[in-house]
Amino acid sequence: MVKSDSELHKVALEYLEQRGVTLVEIAELVYFLQEKYIDDISMEKCLDHVNGVLRKREVQNTILTGIQLDIMTEKKLLENPLQEIIAEDEGLYGIDEILALSIVNVYGSIGFTNYGYIDKVKPGVLKRLNSHQNGEVHTFLDDIVGAIAAAAASRLAHDNPEISDIMK
């Protein structure tokens, strides 16, 4: 039977929490991306848009799948060579970026730039996720978190069309 939206939503939020990512940290990424463009930006507004993104079923499905792969890899349950590829966050792998794009896509193409930028600069929580400490694997999660932030930034821009002129 198809899962209800509310069940998937709840599980997706639990997964993020379980993996040590707070919605406030994702909202901080949105703030980082948009502060130069929006005068009356606030953490509250950023958080609202993060929540909006997380209510989308495509986003929930991607969170569940990506984090499941991270966990399986941490537990060394995958077969080689995939186990090593994901554990080492190998540069030519690319499936993590593909899943991330499916999140960015939901709010249209204007999020691509923000996703790429944030993934390269790795501010805040992205730096921590990417540090590969203590045997933790966040190969999928770091791209997913960046994609949620980029999608939330697009959602914010759609709500403030006058801003998006400056954004470009």
Question: Contact residues for a copy of itself (CB under 8 A)?
Answer: 1-4, 7-8, 11, 57-58, 61-62, 64-65, 68-69, 71-72, 77-79, 81-82, 84-85, 88-95, 97-102, 105-106, 108-110, 112-121, 157-158, 161-168
Tokens of 61: 């499905």
- Nearest CA to 143 out of 94, 108, 100, 95 is that of 100
CB of 104 to a copy of itself, least distance (A): 9
In this complex, which beta carbon is closest to a copy of itself, that of residue 24 or of residue 84? Answer: 84
In this complex, which beta carbon is closest to a copy of itself, that of residue 17 or of residue 88? Answer: 88
- Nearest CA to 138 out of 12, 16, 9 is that of 16
CB of 3 to a copy of itself, least distance (A): 5
- Nearest CA to 118 out of 16, 42, 31, 49 is that of 31
CB of 84 to a copy of itself, least distance (A): 8
Question: What burial letters (b/e) apply to 47-68, b meaning 16+ CB within 10 Å?
Answer: bbbbebbbebeebbbbbeebbe
CB of 62 to a copy of itself, least distance (A): 7
In this complex, which beta carbon is closest to a copy of itself, that of residue 24 or of residue 68? Answer: 68
- Spatial CB neighbours of 136, under 8 Å, sequence gap ≥ 6: 74
CB of 43 to a copy of itself, least distance (A): 22
